[in-house]
């Protein structure tokens, strides 16, 4: 492989071809610390042309590559395997905002741009880029597109797929497809853009994107409601949608155990209620009219929910700081889990109407199979996406419990499928869920996916071992 690495150094310069173990280490372990791979080298291109040249070199020498953005993924999709024969292609240096068009409501960006950087650039132009998730300070838009990330505003604005108008992609042959068109309507053949979004780097390397922007809301109001059950949360969702319409931009479900875990690990965060409640919903309203309009909508809806007994209590943020504090409770759930120990994560989606039934059925099934296990159930109830995580019972080591991962997955995923759901809502498949995908997808679907992969990447060099 010396000839290959020499060629890469000729393309990038010595400083951007990392092959010393200490230099490569930050790129080889996944965010959760569950797996550390090995790599031939880490390549750090600074332009689209350099990406294309590196891919051509990989194709010539039959070297597999693993595209990587912020490496915040949860399904081992952005780290290499244990062979030491793959290279990591880090897009972190492709981090420019290429153009903002506030009239067309679009922004053209490099794939390595940090999500928060994009949000701030949009706000500077008086616009909103609505994709928002806990890792927004470190994840990149290329990774968001490659996994079709969701986040907290899908209820109003949709997944990343709905927020993208055009892509720039380096193909497995090292050619550059420039599809950076800021068009809402473009019926000129197959929709190649949507083929690459959600493909997790297995069909090509996303290097740029045209993103949709929206008007900045005049006001956003946040509230935390306490409820008796998930079924009541669904009633609240319908009530809020009836009263507030498209002004409802966020609707997050959190169980009692979730907030107890956050309080234990982050005692400095707010404690909105004096006594605990079985379930909580964090909701957000955004108004294009005024703060008074948003407050009026929220107060009317909360009042109706209290009168009907749908909620036990509610706290409405009266300042930006209070709103941020309530959102911190939600955003710190994954961090609290990580501090508390290992857990078996599930990123699932269900028809919204079936969520309460799923929770009611699946919890007892897990407790029967793994007595005393703890359920960390939270997520984007408004769009049917739950993060349904299972932590070890008291007194059981992380290692012993994780040995049951396949059995836990089978209980959860069988239940998900029985309720008409999906085993992956927004995290992707990666290497972690590859076996699960093969278990639940039909032969027809898998064969079509394999045919697409073979047609676009006949050498199999694009992120092999992921998805298929």
pLDDT digits (tens, 9 = 90+) for 351-393: 999 999 999 999 999 999 999 999 999 999 999 999 999 999 9
Question: What pLDDT, on the 0 to 100 scale, is given for residue 312?
Answer: 96
Q: For the chain, how many structural domains are there in total?
A: 4
pLDDT at 205 over 90: yes
Alpha-helix residue ranges (DSSP H) falling in 216-354: 230-244, 256-265, 291-307, 320-331, 333-340
CA distance 61 to 59: 6
Question: What pLDDT, on the 0 to 100 scale, is given for residue 134?
Answer: 86
Q: Is residue 456 part of a domain?
A: no
Are both 319 and 262 inside the same structural domain?
A: yes
Are both 264 and 208 inside the same structural domain?
A: no
CATH of the domain at 191: 3.30.465.10
Percent of the chain with pLDDT over 70: 100
Q: Is residue 467 part of a domain?
A: no
**Residue 62 DSSP SS3:** coil
Give the residue from 308, 334, 360 where a domain finishes.
334
Are both 280 and 353 inside the same structural domain?
A: no
For 111, other C-beta atoms within 10 Å of its C-beta total 28
Domain residues for 389? Answer: 341-427
Q: What is the pLDDT of residues 113-165, one digit of tens each?
A: 999 999 999 999 999 999 999 899 999 999 999 999 999 999 999 999 999 99
Question: What pLDDT, on the 0 to 100 scale, is given for residue 294?
Answer: 86
Predicted confidence band of residue 318 (pLDDT cuts 50, 70, 90)? confident
Predicted confidence band of residue 399 (pLDDT cuts 50, 70, 90)? confident
Q: Is residue 459 part of a domain?
A: no
**DSSP assignment of 453-467:** HHHH-TT--BSTTS-
Predicted confidence band of residue 319 (pLDDT cuts 50, 70, 90)? confident
Give the residue from 169, 186, 215 where a domain finishes.
215
pLDDT at 14 over 90: yes
Q: What is the mean pLDDT of residues 38-49?
A: 98
Question: What pLDDT, on the 0 to 100 scale, is given for residue 383?
Answer: 94
CATH of the domain at 224: 3.30.70.2190
pLDDT at 293 over 90: no
Q: What is the pLDDT of residues 58-105, one digit of tens each?
A: 999 999 999 999 999 999 999 999 999 999 999 999 999 999 999 999
Are both 351 and 419 inside the same structural domain?
A: yes
Give the residue from 90, 121, 143 where a domain finishes.
90
For 104, 166, 191, 194, the CA distances from 185, given in Å and listed in that order, are 13, 11, 11, 14
């Amino acid at each position: 492989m010396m000839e290959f690495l020499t060629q890469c150094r000729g393309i990038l310069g010595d400083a951007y071809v990392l092959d010393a173990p200490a230099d490569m280490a930050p790129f080889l372990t996944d965010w959760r610390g569950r797996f550390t791979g090995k790599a031939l080298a880490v390549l750090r291109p600074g332009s689209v042309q350099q990406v294309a040249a590196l891919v051509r070199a990989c194709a010539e020498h039959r070297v597999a590559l693993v595209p990587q953005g912020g490496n915040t993924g949860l399904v081992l999709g952005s780290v290499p395997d244990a062979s030491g024969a793959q290279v990591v292609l880090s897009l972190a240096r492709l981090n420019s905002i290429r153009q903002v068009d506030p009239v067309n409501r679009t922004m053209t960006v490099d794939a390595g741009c940090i999500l928060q950087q994009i949000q701030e650039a949009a706000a500077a132009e008086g616009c909103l880029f609505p994709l928002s998730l806990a890792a927004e300070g470190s994840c990149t838009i290329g990774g968001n597109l490659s996994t079709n990330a969701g986040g907290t505003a899908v209820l109003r604005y949709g997944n990343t797929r709905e927020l993208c108008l055009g892509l720039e992609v380096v193909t497995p042959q090292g050619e550059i497809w420039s599809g950076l068109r800021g068009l809402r309507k473009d019926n000129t053949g197959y929709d190649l853009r949507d083929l690459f979004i959600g493909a997790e780097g297995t069909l090509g390397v996303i290097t740029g994107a045209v993103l949709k922007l929206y008007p900045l809301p005049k006001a956003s109001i946040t509230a935390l409601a306490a409820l008796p059950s998930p079924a009541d949360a669904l009633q609240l969702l319908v009530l809020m949608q009836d009263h507030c319409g498209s002004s409802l931009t966020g609707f997050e479900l959190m169980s009692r155990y979730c907030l107890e875990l956050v309080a234990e690990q982050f005692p400095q965060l707010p404690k909105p209620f004096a006594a605990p409640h079985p379930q909580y919903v964090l909701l957000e309203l955004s108004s294009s009219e005024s703060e008074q309009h948003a407050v009026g909508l929220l107060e009317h809806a909360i009042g109706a929910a209290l009168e009907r007994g749908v909620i036990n209590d509610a706290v409405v943020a009266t300042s930006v700081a209070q709103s941020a504090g309530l959102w911190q409770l939600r955003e710190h759930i994954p961090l609290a889990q990580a501090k508390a120990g290992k857990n078996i994560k599930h990123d699932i989606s269900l028809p919204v109407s079936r969520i309460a039934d799923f929770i009611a059925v699946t919890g007892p099934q897990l407790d029967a199979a793994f007595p005393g296990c703890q359920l960390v159930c939270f997520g984007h109830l408004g769009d049917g996406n739950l993060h349904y995580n299972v932590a070890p019972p008291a007194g059981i080591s992380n290692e012993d419990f994780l040995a049951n991962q396949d059995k836990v997955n089978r209980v959860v995923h069988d239940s998900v499928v029985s309720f008409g759901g999906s085993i992956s809502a927004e995290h992707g498949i990666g290497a972690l869920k590859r076996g699960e995908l093969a278990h639940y997808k039909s032969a027809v679907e898998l064969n079509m996916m394999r045919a697409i992969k073979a047609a676009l990447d006949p050498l199999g060099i694009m992120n092999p071992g992921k998805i298929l």
